């Protein structure tokens, strides 16, 4: 019996080979057309080569879904006089999609990123308490196939589906999952706009390289069924059931943008219930609004209450939510300024309100530049 990883590898190689063959065929046809034109009428010599045409053909199928370069200063302590971080960090993250079919119905998507752990995508620059460290890994790689307008399948190192929620109550944005997903999407119906079913493996929290985790495609310890529905143009709701290592969870999230109030413009609330093996409840909420002025400025605040036992099985941590929030009761402000297109400066802070072990204060000043549009223009 062929293992799932071998099947996935075979499919990826087959589709890439088909794409390159199609590119060479298109280049050959273009060359033949140029030769025929030369016999009929005088024309300027065509200095392009089949190799160049093949490269152009492939570049037309590459799309940068995101590309971020971020640097920030972070301060953290776990108690009076116990500073755990006072450092300058950096992050590089790139998500690329290669359309193996011209209409994008068959594609390969990959995410390359810095960071050494499931809940960390930043590395040290050496300016601060910690020594310099560089890392960049292919954290996710999967093959996607669309069937008609509404159904899509994904297989490989896929991303978590957070629905209308965030990393505050679910997987850290930097995390990974090996598995398979069947996705239904539609619009303008009474049914949810999205229904997804995911089966896979969650673990190897200190192994950011997908190829080192690829053998997990033959294992299963994670099941998620999620439905997401728009409640009007500005409101979004999702509900899901998750089983992780036999522990069952229910999670709901609601997001409302453009509230008709003068003080708050955006509001979100998320709730997660551990329904078996030591039942536990956690939740998160945030408020935000744009401030008046010439520059785009957004201000907000959050409150998070995630019990320490939420993602533990015995003495082991079996899941990691966003590293900004982690377990415990926390509150904090956020502020962001966008002085130029694709350029953002942000401030974020968090304070622990209970005695949960871990970070007491956390503060960040970050500078982010989004490069996706620039890279997409470069390959066109």
User: 163 and 16, same structural domain?
Assistant: no
Q: Where are the beta strands (DSSP E) in 222-371?
A: 222-230, 235-244, 247-257, 266-274, 280-291, 297-306, 312-313, 316-317, 328-340, 343-352, 361-370
CB atoms within 10 A of CB 122: 25
Is residue 5 scored above 90 in pLDDT? no
Residue 50, pLDDT score: 57
Q: How far is CA 58 from CA 100, 185, 239, in A?
A: 9, 28, 39
User: 206 and 111, same structural domain?
Assistant: yes
Residue 187, pLDDT score: 74
Q: How far apart are CA 331 and CA 229, in angstroms?
A: 29
- Average pLDDT, integer, range 149-173: 96
What average pLDDT is seen over the chain?
88
- Average pLDDT, integer, range 115-137: 95
Residue 60, pLDDT score: 78
Residue with tokens 């140029």: 34
User: 351 and 363, same structural domain?
Assistant: yes
User: 194 and 341, same structural domain?
Assistant: yes
Residue 52, pLDDT score: 59
User: 136 and 9, same structural domain?
Assistant: no
Name the percent of the chain lying above pLDDT 70. Answer: 84
Domain residues for the domain of 141 are 61-378
User: 65 and 54, same structural domain?
Assistant: no
Q: Residue 357's domain is classified under what CATH number?
A: 2.40.160.10
User: 166 and 22, same structural domain?
Assistant: no
Helices assigned H by DSSP within the chain: 4-40, 50-59, 210-213, 372-378
Between 46 and 218, name the one with better pLDDT: 218
- Average pLDDT, integer, range 83-87: 97
**pLDDT band, residue 27 (cuts 50/70/90):** very low
**pLDDT band, residue 379 (cuts 50/70/90):** confident
- Average pLDDT, integer, range 253-261: 94
User: 219 and 323, same structural domain?
Assistant: yes
Tokens of 52: 């160049």
User: 78 and 55, same structural domain?
Assistant: no
User: 230 and 363, same structural domain?
Assistant: yes
Which of 29-33, 35-39, 102-106, 343-347 is modeled with the greatest confidence? 343-347
Q: How far apart are CA 51 and CA 379, in angstroms?
A: 16
Residue 191, pLDDT score: 84
Residue 61, pLDDT score: 87
The residue among 33, 60, 87 that closes a domain is 60
- What is the count of structural domains for the chain? 2
- Average pLDDT, integer, range 284-290: 97
Name the percent of the chain lying above pLDDT 90. Answer: 77
Between 359 and 42, name the one with better pLDDT: 359
User: 143 and 271, same structural domain?
Assistant: yes
Residue 55, pLDDT score: 64
**pLDDT band, residue 43 (cuts 50/70/90):** very low
The per-residue pLDDT for range 201-244, each reduced to its tens digit, is 999 999 999 999 999 999 999 999 999 999 988 999 999 999 99
Residue 49, pLDDT score: 57
Q: How far apart are CA 140 and CA 354, in angstroms?
A: 36
User: 228 and 136, same structural domain?
Assistant: yes
The per-residue pLDDT for range 142-159, each reduced to its tens digit, is 999 999 999 999 999 999
The per-residue pLDDT for range 297-340, each reduced to its tens digit, is 999 999 999 999 999 999 999 999 999 999 999 999 999 999 99
Contact 177, 156 (CB under 8 A): no
């Amino acid at each position: 019996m062929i293992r799932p990883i071998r099947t996935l590898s075979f499919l990826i190689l087959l589709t890439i080979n088909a794409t390159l063959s199609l590119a060479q065929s298109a280049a050959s046809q273009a060359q033949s057309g140029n030769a025929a034109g030369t016999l009929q009428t005088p024309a300027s010599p065509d200095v392009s080569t089949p190799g160049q045409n093949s490269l152009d053909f492939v570049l037309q199928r590459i799309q940068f879904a995101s590309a971020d370069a971020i640097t920030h200063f972070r301060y953290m302590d776990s108690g009076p006089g116990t500073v755990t971080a006072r450092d300058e960090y950096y992050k590089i993250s790139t998500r690329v999609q290669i359309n193996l079919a011209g209409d994008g119905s068959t594609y390969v998507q990959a995410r390359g990123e810095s960071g050494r752990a499931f809940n960390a995508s930043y590395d040290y620059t050496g300016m601060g308490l910690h020594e310099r460290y560089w890392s960049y890994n292919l954290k996710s790689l999967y093959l996607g196939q669309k069937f008609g307008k509404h159904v899509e399948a994904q297989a490989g190192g896929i991303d978590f589906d957070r629905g209308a929620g965030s990393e505050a109550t679910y997987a850290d944005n930097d995390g990974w999952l090996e598995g398979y997903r069947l996705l239904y999407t539609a619009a303008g119906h009474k049914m949810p706009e999205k229904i997804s079913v995911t089966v896979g493996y969650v673990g190897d929290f200190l192994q950011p390289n997908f190829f080192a985790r690829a053998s997990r495609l033959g294992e299963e310890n994670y099941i998620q069924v999620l439905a997401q529905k728009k409640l009007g143009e500005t409101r979004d709701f999702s509900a899901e059931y998750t089983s992780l290592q036999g522990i069952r969870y229910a999670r709901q999230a609601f997001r409302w943008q453009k509230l008709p109030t003068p003080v708050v413009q955006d509001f979100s609330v998320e709730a997660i219930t551990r329904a078996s093996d030591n039942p536990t409840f956690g939740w998160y909420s945030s408020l935000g609004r744009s401030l008046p002025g010439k520059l785009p400025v957004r201000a907000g605040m959050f409150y998070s209450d995630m019990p320490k036992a939420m993602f533990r099985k015995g003495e082991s941590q079996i899941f990691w939510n966003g590293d900004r929030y982690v377990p415990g009761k926390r509150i904090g402000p956020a502020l962001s300024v966008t002085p130029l297109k694709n350029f953002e400066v942000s401030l974020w802070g968090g304070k622990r309100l209970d005695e949960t072990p871990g970070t007491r204060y956390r503060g960040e000043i970050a500078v982010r530049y989004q490069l996706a549009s620039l890279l997409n223009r470069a390959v066109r």
